[in-house]
């Protein structure tokens, strides 16, 4: 029995093509799908790695600037401590040479979903001379807390008189002298914020 070569070659080629079609091609498609999934996972990993490296970089920068963040925390504190603010105003007024007659809380804005910053407005009435008032405003400006002064009005209802009323307030800033000073009454509003 003689085997015909061209027919055998054709049958072998046909068998090879069938084996490739049923065994190799599905494995090749599986391999391509796996490569696509691997590429997506690698891209996701690279994205997350870049994100977390950026977060750690920002965290290190924040740690380096901790002092500045504490200043911001002091400028706009997280809770409105009204008693501390009243004490601060009284203390700065006394140190500046003013007599604090009245401190009224005029407005506290509520927290909303749009704004987490709370606005607090005090109305103050003090007595003293212009220089003392200027010193008080300077101390507010130089404090670490943010204050906004507005609606300043003054009157000269108190005439020239010895500085007996102001002697208590001025003992901390200067020696008491028996001079005559012009004393005025100042009314103004101070706005500050908390969150």
Asked if residues 93 and 137 have their Cβ atoms less than 8 Å apart, the reply is no
Q: Both 164 and 80 in a single domain?
A: yes
Question: What percent of the chain stands above pLDDT 90?
Answer: 24
Rg of the chain (C-alpha set): 40
The per-residue pLDDT for range 105-164, each reduced to its tens digit, is 888 877 666 767 788 888 999 988 889 999 999 998 888 777 888 888 888 755 444 444
* 60 & 96 share domain: no
Which of 2-6, 162-166, 179-183: highest mean pLDDT?
A: 2-6
Q: Looking at the domain assignment, is residue 70 inside a domain?
A: no
d(CA 154, CA 149): 14
**Are residue 115 and residue 52 in the same domain, yes or no?**
no
Residue 47 included in any domain: yes
Six token digits for residue 149? 């002064």
12-21, 47-56, 62-71, range with the lowest pLDDT: 62-71
- Over the stretch 52-67, which tens digit does the pLDDT of each residue have? 999 999 999 888 888 8
Which residue segment(s) compose the domain that 112 sits in? 76-194
Give the mean model confidence (pLDDT) for residues 159-174. Answer: 49
59 with 95, same domain?
A: no
Indicate if 19 and 82 belong to the same structural domain. Answer: no
Q: Are residues 146 and 185 in the same domain?
A: yes
CB of 163 closer than 8 Å to CB of 170: yes
Q: How many residues are there in the chain?
A: 195
The CATH number of the domain holding residue 182 is 3.30.70.60
Band the pLDDT of 174: cuts 50, 70, 90: low
175 located within any domain: yes
Number of domains in the chain: 2
């Amino acid at each position: 029995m003689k085997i015909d070569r061209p027919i055998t070659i054709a049958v072998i080629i046909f068998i090879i093509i069938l084996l490739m079609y049923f065994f190799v091609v599905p494995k090749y498609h599986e391999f391509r799908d796996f490569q696509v999934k691997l590429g997506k996972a690698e891209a996701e990993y690279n994205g997350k790695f870049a994100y977390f490296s950026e977060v750690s970089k920002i965290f290190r920068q924040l740690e380096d600037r901790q002092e500045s963040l504490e200043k911001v925390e002091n400028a706009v504190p997280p809770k409105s401590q009204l008693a501390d603010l009243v004490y601060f105003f009284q203390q700065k007024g006394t140190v500046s040479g003013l007599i604090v007659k009245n401190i009224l809380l005029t407005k506290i804005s509520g927290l909303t979903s749009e704004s987490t910053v709370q606005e607090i407005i005090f109305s103050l009435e003090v007595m003293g001379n212009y220089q003392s008032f200027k010193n008080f405003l300077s101390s507010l400006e130089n404090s670490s807390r943010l204050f906004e002064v507005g609606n300043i009005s003054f009157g000269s209802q108190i005439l020239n008189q010895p500085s007996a009323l102001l002697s208590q307030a001025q003992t901390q800033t200067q020696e008491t002298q028996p001079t005559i000073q012009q004393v005025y009454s100042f009314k103004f509003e101070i706005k500050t914020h908390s969150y």
